[in-house]
Chains A and B, each alone.
Chain A
């Protein structure tokens, strides 16, 4: 089973700042990695798929990069609605599909 490790666990930033979230895989997943955003009381929403492609309707301030074992989600300038929990997910070697443990992005 591929383990995804996200860092940091919590990131405290202010609106307007740049956020950089990391996801590391225990073995290569090529580019088969997605990022999801989850706000309190809501279902997760697909942000980025195939490591760097924005899903439909996702603002350009969200970008993904990486391949192999190291991936990054960048939010270029934080908006108030971006404060949420972010999960990475791999589907390279499945079953099982696995998720990272999440990064909580909170307002500083």
Chain B
């Protein structure tokens, strides 16, 4: 079945970097784009952007430029989110979500299980 499995929780100090992975299985990885979504503690969902898994071209939402980088390793069907110069306010659960296309419309399905990134000194 179609599945996205993310890497485990991370505890980082302010100023450090973190790389979250999202491994896809059950479908052709390069046929569907990948989205990234952030959920701060007790808060709602915030779309961070997406990456074209065919071309590797990323698109970042406002507020997620500069310190956030989306990348791919298509040989292992994996998408990555790297965050540099971490701040306390980056503490959140980060989700990857496949761009599922139906009749030329795009939806998020399925989602990875989420990766908790905690930034604390």
Contacts and interface: CB of A to CB of B under 8 A. Distances in A.
A100 interface: yes
Nearest to A6: B44
Contacts of A96: 47, 61-62
Main secondary structure of the interface of A (DSSP, over half): loop
Interface stretch (A14-22, A39-47, A62-70, A75-83): A39-47
Main secondary structure of the interface of B (DSSP, over half): strand
Max chain A Cβ within 10 angstroms of own Cβ: one of B97, B100, B107? B107
A46 B47 contact: no
Contacts of B97: 44
Interface string B52-76: 0000000101100000000000000
Interface residues of B, number: 24
A99 B107 contact: no
26 contacts: A32-B105, A43-B110, A43-B112, A44-B95, A44-B97, A44-B108, A44-B111, A45-B110, A46-B100, A46-B107, A46-B110, A49-B102, A49-B105, A49-B107, A53-B102, A55-B109, A87-B44, A87-B45, A89-B45, A89-B108, A91-B105, A95-B49, A95-B59, A96-B47, A100-B44, A101-B44
